[in-house]
Amino acid sequence: MIQVENLCKHFEIRHRHKNSWAVLRNFLKRDSSTLKAVDDISFSIQKGEMVGYLGPNGAGKSTTLKMLTGLLVPTSGRLEVNGFVPWQSRQKYVAQIGAVFGQRSSLWWDLPTIESLELLQHIYKIPTARFSSNLEMFKKLLDLDEFLQSPARSLSLGQRMRADLCAALMHDPAILFLDEPTIGLDVVAKQRIREFIQQINQDRGTTIILTTHDMADVQKLCTRAMMIDHGKLLFDGALSDLQNRFGGQRRLIVDFEEPPTQLKLANATIISQEALRITFAFARETRVAELISALTRDHAIRDLRVEEPEIEATIRAIYEGNLLSA
């Protein structure tokens, strides 16, 4: 479905002098440096996959998506999406994909939303029966009826995002590119968008690439994650593997029947204690069964549970500590 080999996108950044001779120096000498926005990355994505593409601001996520959608031409490398080279045969290629960029809209600003969708029907040459069928489905899934007659400029952020998702999928694209689709939305709107994305992926087998800073999006939608930083692809694998490798310590929360005395537990550290509840932290390689066996041998236990570190905390630790390149 998507094949990327040794993909690079470099930008030349021109530096302008600002001293007293700046105008003359800028005219006579062009000082510049090269920004490697995407630097020799390779990956493949199969049909029907939903992949989270992660990285801090400026890592190269949006540049990659712009090359995948054909908006930018790579400096070097090979890129093929669903049998097409994105920046070639543009008209045929865009009929195969859908894209939603959280900060931009594909709707016409002053037109009622329904008229924007009808214009897209003509642009993509969508048969009337298929257009009507898709519109009815999306109206139910995204609750569009309340604002279909309203112009895009009057829509709330959540309404506009739902309308943009509808617009991106009216022509049944094989691949959907989502760049920050839930940015700025409230909790209810985010959940509605996530449920819709998940249903489209499951029911239609649509391949989806999702970039986001909201780790809840990734955790609830994706099983695979790719992480990019400074243009380099640093991780590509199961989301669970990312957490297992870089997730830090796990927690064992224990409720005792009575206050424990002389409580010592090998390979675990007490990080909090409140009445009869004690929370231990332990390394991922430590066997939970051994900790529980040691506790139940010497103490009466009312209840216990093991907690994994939150994926958001894992990603934040990677960004801040550069753990992937270590």
How large is the average pLDDT for residues 215-222? 85
How large is the average pLDDT for residues 11-33? 67
Mean pLDDT of the chain: 87
| DSSP class of 112 | B
Is residue 282 within 8 A of residue 247, CB to CB? The reply is no
* Alpha carbons 95 and 107: distance in angstroms, whole number: 17
* Alpha carbons 254 and 277: distance in angstroms, whole number: 6
- Convert 236-301 into a string of H (helix), E (strand) and C (coil): EEEHHHHHHHHCCCEEEEEEECCCCCCCCCCCEEEEEEECCEEEEEECCCCCHHHHHHHHHHHCCE
How large is the average pLDDT for residues 214-228? 87
pTM for the full model?
A: 0.77
Provide, rounded to the nearest whole percent, the portion of the chain with pLDDT above 90.
53
User: Is residue 14's pLDDT more than 80?
Assistant: no
First to last CA, the chain: 32
At residue 34, the pLDDT reads 86
At residue 20, the pLDDT reads 60
Residue 282: which of 256, 304, 261 has the closest Cα? 304
At residue 232, the pLDDT reads 92
User: Is residue 25's pLDDT more than 80?
Assistant: no
User: Is residue 307's pLDDT more than 70?
Assistant: yes
At residue 277, the pLDDT reads 92
Domain spans in the chain, listed from the N-terminal domain onward: 2-10+38-244, 249-308
At residue 302, the pLDDT reads 92
At residue 266, the pLDDT reads 85
User: Is residue 230's pLDDT more than 80?
Assistant: yes
Is residue 186 within 8 A of residue 200, CB to CB? The reply is no
> With bands split at pLDDT 50, 70 and 90, how would you rate the model's confidence at 46?
very high
| DSSP class of 176 | E
The reply to whether CATH 3.40.50.300 applies to domain 2-10+38-244 is: yes
At residue 326, the pLDDT reads 43
Write the pLDDT tens digit of every residue in 262-281: 788 888 989 898 889 999 98
Is residue 288 within 8 A of residue 254, CB to CB? The reply is no
At residue 90, the pLDDT reads 85
* Alpha carbons 259 and 75: distance in angstroms, whole number: 66
At residue 325, the pLDDT reads 47
Provide, rounded to the nearest whole percent, the portion of the chain with pLDDT above 70.
89
Write the pLDDT tens digit of every residue in 75-126: 999 999 999 999 988 889 999 999 998 778 889 999 999 999 999 999 999 9
At residue 312, the pLDDT reads 67
